[in-house]
Structure 1
Amino acid sequence: MKLKNKLIALAGAGLLLTALRSAPLVELFELPDRVVIYENEEVGLKCSFPFSLYENQNSLVLSASADIANDSEIFKHLGEGENEIIRGNVPVSFLGMEIKNIEVYILPQKNVTPGGMCIGVSLFTNGVIVAGNSDISCQDGKKVNPAMQAGLFDGDIITKVNGQQLLNARQLGQLVEESKDKPIKLSVLRNNKSVEVNITPAYDVYEKKYRLGLWLRDSTAGIGTITYADNENKKYAALGHAITDPDTGTILPVGTGEIVECTINDIVKGKKGIPGELKGSFRLNSPAYGSISANTEFGLYGDTYSDIINELYPQGVQVASRNSVKEGKATILTTVDGQGIQEYEINIIKANKQDVRASKSMIIEVTDQRLLEKTGGIVQGMSGSPILQNGKLIGAVTHVLISDPQKGYALYIDWMQE
């Protein structure tokens, strides 16, 4: 009798495991917990089994139509005007049983000007970046390293000296020289945390001045591409990734800076194992598009001085959510020569499921022979080039695959807007 009961129990466990491994339940667990879509946008959720959304729908297509958004039993309206967000928990059913809720946010539709224009970036940091350290030769023939002894690390950002705001490396040198061999207090930003470091300068017999034994960086310059402009609010976004210190990888904190018009002078075509590059030039007094206010993991941001116009899309384009992105054909807007902004065909090889902000949202491949002949694919300087699909802005080019310059990574436009 006991043996029979054990067999029944084992059989029950086997049925449970079979159910858990069944395709419908696997697909259920893969459905997102949170979906963000724009007004009048429809998003199909990948599923081959007969799940259905709440009673007003009989499929797994999320619609942001007016009828759906005004369903007061499901959705609540938060905020007003362009800041209004419609939020609801949409139940998912299987064979008539409610088994899951998807948190849905419906955002007001935005119309922006797609970028594609090449820009020169001139950025001065807020504070100075520690890029390395070096020994100092003293009068007694010994070598000392005040920076290492004080516990300063590569990537540290020095923001103040004895409580005085630090603007650049030259100012730090002047304050050190004035202090001579007296200890000074440095306010340092390290891994987004503030620390205080006491350090005593040493006299360098070769340089004939007092030094801390630091290699410092307080500015950078380069070229990239504008992703979009919000002319109504006088804002722009560019690059799709951060500007970092080349030695330490630290994201450079913004003090001041501008994005300006840039001229492409030459192209180094990309080859397998060797990334290509757009070679451009600009001057600090070149006509400017706008100021730089933020340098983040997901792009460069700031205020525009005047409306930015893309002649290919003078009326602008709508923005599409990451949930509406499909693998397959798309286009990019970019400038690689004197012909200005051109639109080129690409293929989205993979669109990753991302519920939180993250880089490498998509893997893309250049398929347009015109661009391949000019650049060999994706090259440095194209970062930020907007990606369009079905006439809507969905993302931005960010990096090239060094092993295959025809391919690269891209970022969902959602992550550049949050």
Structure 2
Amino acid sequence: MGGLMRRLNFIKNTSRPRRAALGVLVLAAVISVTSGQQLEADAATEYYIGGMAAGFALPAGGAEIVELNSVAGDGETRRPAEEAGMRAGDLICAADGAAIDSIAGLNAALEKCGGKSIRFTVLRDGERLQVSVQPLLDAKTGKWKIGVLIRDTLSGIGTITYIEKGSLHFGALGHGIGEGASPDMTGAKVFACSVIGVNKGTRGRAGELKGLFHHETTIARAELFCGTGLFGTFESGYDLSACRTAEIAPVSEAVIGKAVIYSTVDGRESKPYEIAIAKVDANDRDNKNFVIKVTDEALIAETGGIVQGMSGSPILQNGKLIGAVTHVFLNDPTRGYGISIERMMTGERERR
């Protein structure tokens, strides 16, 4: 993102990730221009205003290498994956041409190899590479290993932007998920989440919320992610009675001046915080239609301004939903970018 701003990616869940002793991919989405007719139809619909933190668990789209380590064989110790050129952050997508989409899939490929070299397909910085690795038989377990610690699920915390009344369709985040998530949303889950702490943002360093998943409480079903956010449907039993409702407004109605964001920075309660819109750019195609500045002293005292985990926080002006927070300026954490709601909702229409 360069040195001046940072996209508000997932913050880490405090629960331990699934591990095995053996991501994150930017999905480029084609975004169509919203038609005036569609925008008028959306504007006539009422939406529950979000602002609540949620925990997302999404398939990684392969076996992501979290850490490289050693394998202790009979009389020798080696680091097969590292020696072959694999790196932490690589996403293992295939073994000898067969797709790998989970920890179990990688284990099966290793068991099948019988000690022969395996040609892996890995995704690194958007490029597919071929890496041949010679497994080593682990002396303790008697299994073939290549010396990697992996995960096949991405988990993190973000903010719900809106829930449509009636259909309960929701949108969150306002940007792509980053490197690693699979476009196949089978098994993707959205959990209730509590914010239990804050690392305050300072000049030159983005802050972040600290969150705790409530794995026993699934609040929604994730169905699609793209370059403008994550979309799905809330559970019908979720209590939205405390949420205010609003209509949406196009970016053409946004003006420089006072506005409000809704965010959760402590516990599970969403609260309004005052901001100012400093710039409006209806034509920006990088999810940066607004430049915003936090003016709420209570939020600045709590977080330093905009922090990771607040991505998706809804922006309201004159009582209407106009967008969502997406980025923070690294040189000034009280300032950031927001996406217009009609641009964000291009993903919602793609989901339908």
The interval holding the TM-score normalised by the smaller chain is 0.7 to 0.9
1:203 alignment counterpart:
136
CA RMSD of aligned residues (A): 3.5
Whole-Å Cα distance in 1 between the matches of residues 267 and 187 of structure 2?
A: 29
Q: Does 1:407 align with 2:338?
A: no
Q: Please list the CA deviations of residues 331-379 of structure 1 after superposition, one character each: whole Å capped at 9, or x if unmatched.
A: 1111222472211110011222425x31332221111223223322222
Distance verdict in 2 for CA 1:152–1:231, change over 3 Å: farther
1:374 alignment counterpart:
302
2:281 alignment partner, one of 352, 364, 370: 352
Q: Does 1:387 align with 2:315?
A: yes
Question: Which aligned pairs between 1:127-146 and structure 2 lie closer than 5 A?
Answer: 127-130=62-65, 145=80
* Greater RCO (CA < 8 Å, at least 6 residues apart): 2
Q: Percent identity, aligned pairs only?
A: 33
1:416 alignment counterpart:
344
Q: Which runs of 5+ in 1 are unaligned?
A: 1-33, 39-83, 86-104, 245-249
2:227 alignment partner, one of 297, 300, 323: 297
Q: Does 1:175 align with 2:89?
A: no
Whole-Å Cα distance in 1 between the matches of residues 268 and 153 of structure 2?
A: 31
1:209 shift after superposition? 3.6
Q: Name the TM-score, length of structure 2 as normaliser.
A: 0.73
The alignment covers a number of residue pairs equal to 310
1:196 shift after superposition? 9.0
135-144 vs 122-131, greater mean Cα deviation: 135-144
Q: Give the secondary-structure state (helix, strand or coil) at the position aligned to 2:210.
A: strand
> Is contact 1:378-1:406 (8 Å) kept?
yes
Aligned residue type for 2:54:
I
Q: Give the secondary-structure state (helix, strand or coil) at the position aligned to 1:284.
A: strand
2:191 alignment counterpart:
260
1:277 alignment counterpart:
208
Q: Give the secondary-structure state (helix, strand or coil) at the position aligned to 1:405.
A: strand
2:264 alignment counterpart:
335
Q: Which runs of 5+ in 2 are unaligned?
A: 1-31, 347-352
1:238 alignment counterpart:
172
Q: Does 1:121 align with 2:50?
A: no
2:291 alignment partner, one of 331, 345, 363: 363
Distance verdict in 2 for CA 1:172–1:346, change over 3 Å: same
1:387 shift after superposition? 0.2
207-216 vs 263-272, greater mean Cα deviation: 207-216
Distance verdict in 2 for CA 1:364–1:310, change over 3 Å: farther
2:150 alignment partner, one of 216, 219, 230: 216
